[in-house]
Structure 1
């Protein structure tokens, strides 16, 4: 049975195809359109999924869309009526899009799937999040907590899951949103909403939480159970295209930072303050969920679950024994989540839990487009690009040697990763032992802010030797203290932490063996891993896009399949 899941029309549009409950193809639309965080209907992603599985639309049994558009439209209308006459500009800009297109999702689906005759269903937004985090876990039962900006009405929900049943029993509703609260500060500190939240997380490490009490005393009321209430007189997102207003600015004594404006210490301190508030609220939530569910397991979903600093505190200070977060807990991941809901809950299919963690990692993370070595060579030859073809062992040894010699190397291999992180297939790699490498990568390769850290990829079995963490982190979703910062300074953030990826030998053997070769040379089982893109662009998809990275940056080499290209 083939089931298709779709998410779009807010941000991070994506499509995912499941066969008998297993993901066979999943990709974000941005990887084809080259428009970062593309929110349009994922026509190209759907087409690729069908081609990857070599099936026609008529072979799809049923389709799921990741939320209920009619309820989201209801919330928008209610919001504009509540805050009228403010919000007229937003109303004029938004409502026609819904009346002409976004309410007619079935038409878009049927148009994209010419010949499809099956059922189309619309799970709740937070149920799609919940399904993705639970059905990618190894738990037979678990507490569920989903936290994001907003779905239909809910902004946070919790409940319990067992086998092929998920029940969400409690929620927090619009406009009281922890995700939008954090996004308001993202906007105020000069970053793009739904894009710059991870930048705020990195920036926060350079400040002190001097405004912690100011935030709690004025902007947000937090109860012991983690429920929140925003004082909306400071926020503009209910009626304007910006997130905060003049009262918000007056509270902190500064105006919103403009995109290219210099970052001052006050910006770092405000960032540190809101990050701490977010973490403390999430800890309150998790303690409450634990008391209500009595589960030892927690599955965390929603866009807020991308905050690796908060995730680590939940892991270390929270009440649960086990914590699972999928590789793409935000809206893109819900393309898989709604398809999983369709298969396991709507169709009541039996769930068989995979005990091999490497298979789970592989199926969850490495499900995107790939190009064969023959296709890569065809591209290189067609462009008269010089390259050295190497056998696998020689390729690994030579690449590891180049990295240990201080070279920056692109690594383009196998299936593209699912989610916002490059996990060793569309990566730029460098030596973590050289402290200056962080600035080199930020300035000359990624062209991004100097405060942004880089992630360490580490051989799984050495994790606890280098980081204060006792479990795997295959999707870069935990930011943990570094035990040996002197050994890996380039991936040690200013606060002594690193957003690590643990690399499993069987989940990604080629990448594992490359790091192993680097370890043999240097005695360090860690390598810098950052996504193969420059700021403002999606991660590369095709061999041509990957090769272009070496022409427009100061990257020294790129490995495309078995082929080594020097700048």
Structure 2
């Protein structure tokens, strides 16, 4: 049985192919179109997944969309009626799009599928999941757990903004729900908007900015914006927000509450903005930790699965694990809407078709999230020749040795190997790597390679067998979705003057043996690298450790700010030539920037719309 899952028409469209319950492929549309968070029908992602499975669309027995459009349309209409006449102008503007993409979405999907495979009766093969069931399925079914509590939190699906329940075997039951407009995801996005970042992409920046501030606004948020109960349930005071009826997330009353106007994207960040980021992060952790603790008590289970956009908050995830209510937690690496495509396909297999579940425990069913396309040596070589690149073909041992030496020499290295990752994190297949021991590496990568804000943190990729020697973490974190402290013996004590620094001034203080991946609060967003799922990346870090004594490399996504992560060898070479990346390992081919024709250099800094 071949099942294709699709998410589309909101943001981050994606496709996933499941064959007889096994995850064969998954990819986001943005990687192919080079359009960040592309929301269009995922034609290219579908083609890539089908190619990986060696089938055509006509061979698919079912196609499953990740949510139910009629329920979503019902929520949109009821929300506007509830707040009428406020927001009538935006209602009129939105109605034509709603009619096309919400009310008549089934016809739109059928037409798109017919354009690819015209001889199939797609009205018979097309199914619809519910948004939060898709999230829950993406969290539980690929997990290594026979049974677990499930928590999904995001902006909003059809009506639900948070859901919870239990997964046992092949069955998922969701029995707790908080409905729109009371949404933790939208609350976080409101602060993303207010502090001058783009909603649905800038939330990472708010989380990264939070450690530079103090949560002095937490009492204000808890008193005025959100009423949080002991079990983590909550309600928002909607009089401070405009997302129900307007085209803004917040309103003037929200701004008056904090005494600051909305920050524009080009305005300098102040300590107030850092404190706002720290405060909304603090409140988010309060809600998530109380909810998780309540679920542990109510369900009596020791495993937890997480999905939904809020589950990408790796700081909160790390604190849930540290609280000890659960022995183990598993987070879907594509926790946002892209992962809904995969969840929808898995839900159809297990829930709609009643098929049993085989639990993969080594380490899970996601195969390290390496579910996208790969390229043969011949394809890579042809692309490099066509681009005018100068390169050397190396054996696997030579490639690893050369790359490890470049890293030890302080170079920024583009690393393009194997199948592309599914989800927002680069996990050692489409990555830019660096030396974590370098005090200047974070600034170099942010300003000269990524072209992004200097405060943005980088993640350590660490050998799984060495993680507890360097971080306060004893478990797997293969998807870079847990934050843990750097071990005390690896830290450097601050001087009195350094302790008194505020905000971004903290950035350049060396605070550990691995300063490039140690955030200002001594934390790190850890990725454990496993020989079983990515042997070549594991071997590279082993080689780097042999040279330096450090089993860790800096890992950031292979792209610049506003650009989707690279997908093809052509994408990789363009990014290499448009940035200060000094070496590139793409398949077995090794390139040095100094060997390249200067005429091929690109002005990449302004090539993409800023996120």
TM-score for the superposition, normalised by structure 1: 0.98
* Number of the residue aligned with 1:44: 44
Please identify runs of 4+ aligned residues in structure 1 that moved more than 4 A: none
State how 1:162-177 maps to structure 2 within 5 Å. 162-177=168-183
CA deviations 1:189-212 (Å, max 9, x no partner) are 111111111110000010001111
Partners of 1:488 and 1:129 in 2: how far apart? 35
* Number of the residue aligned with 2:9: 9
The answer as to 2:61 corresponding to 1:61 is yes
Contact 2:5 2:15 in 1 (8 A): yes
Across the aligned residues of Structure 1 and Structure 2, the Cα RMSD in angstroms comes to: 1.2
* Number of the residue aligned with 1:372: 376
The offset of 1:51, in angstroms, is 2.2
* Number of the residue aligned with 2:431: 427
* Number of the residue aligned with 2:320: 314
The answer as to 2:294 corresponding to 1:279 is no
Partners of 2:588 and 2:579 in 1: how far apart? 22
Partners of 1:564 and 1:126 in 2: how far apart? 44
CA deviations 1:63-118 (Å, max 9, x no partner) are 11111110000000011111122222321232211212333333333333323335
Q: Given the alignment, which residue of 396, 402, 413 partners 1:398?
A: 402
The answer as to 2:476 corresponding to 1:472 is yes
Q: Given the alignment, which residue of 184, 204, 210 partners 1:204?
A: 210
* Number of the residue aligned with 1:460: 464
Partners of 2:294 and 2:553 in 1: how far apart? 38
Partners of 2:241 and 2:219 in 1: how far apart? 18
Partners of 2:20 and 2:366 in 1: how far apart? 18
State how 1:231-310 maps to structure 2 within 5 Å. 231-310=237-316
* Number of the residue aligned with 2:569: 543
Partners of 2:101 and 2:575 in 1: how far apart? 36
Contact 1:131 1:166 in 2 (8 A): yes
Partners of 1:116 and 1:422 in 2: how far apart? 37
* Number of the residue aligned with 1:525: 551
Partners of 1:93 and 1:418 in 2: how far apart? 34
Partners of 1:301 and 1:541 in 2: how far apart? 24
The answer as to 2:448 corresponding to 1:444 is yes
CA deviations 1:91-148 (Å, max 9, x no partner) are 1232211212333333333333323335222111110000000011111111111111
The offset of 1:361, in angstroms, is 4.7
Partners of 1:164 and 1:549 in 2: how far apart? 43
* Number of the residue aligned with 1:503: 529
Contact 2:160 2:178 in 1 (8 A): yes
Q: Given the alignment, which residue of 218, 221, 229 partners 1:215?
A: 221
The offset of 1:377, in angstroms, is 0.6
CA deviations 1:24-70 (Å, max 9, x no partner) are 11110101111111111112211222222221222111111111110
State how 1:331-346 maps to structure 2 within 5 Å. 331-346=337-352
* Number of the residue aligned with 2:74: 74
The offset of 1:371, in angstroms, is 1.2
The offset of 1:318, in angstroms, is 4.5
Bigger mean CA offset, 382-391 vs 442-451: 382-391
Partners of 1:533 and 1:263 in 2: how far apart? 24
* Number of the residue aligned with 1:85: 85
State how 1:133-148 maps to structure 2 within 5 Å. 133-148=139-154
SS at structure 1 position matched to 2:193: helix
Partners of 1:111 and 1:101 in 2: how far apart? 12
The answer as to 2:180 corresponding to 1:187 is no
TM-score for the superposition, normalised by structure 2: 0.91
SS at structure 2 position matched to 1:110: helix
- Unmatched tracts of structure 2, length 5 or more: 492-511, 594-611
Contact 1:5 1:64 in 2 (8 A): yes
The offset of 1:384, in angstroms, is 2.7
* Number of the residue aligned with 2:508: none
- Unmatched tracts of structure 1, length 5 or more: none
Partners of 1:461 and 1:209 in 2: how far apart? 35
CA deviations 1:453-486 (Å, max 9, x no partner) are 0010000000011111110100000111011242
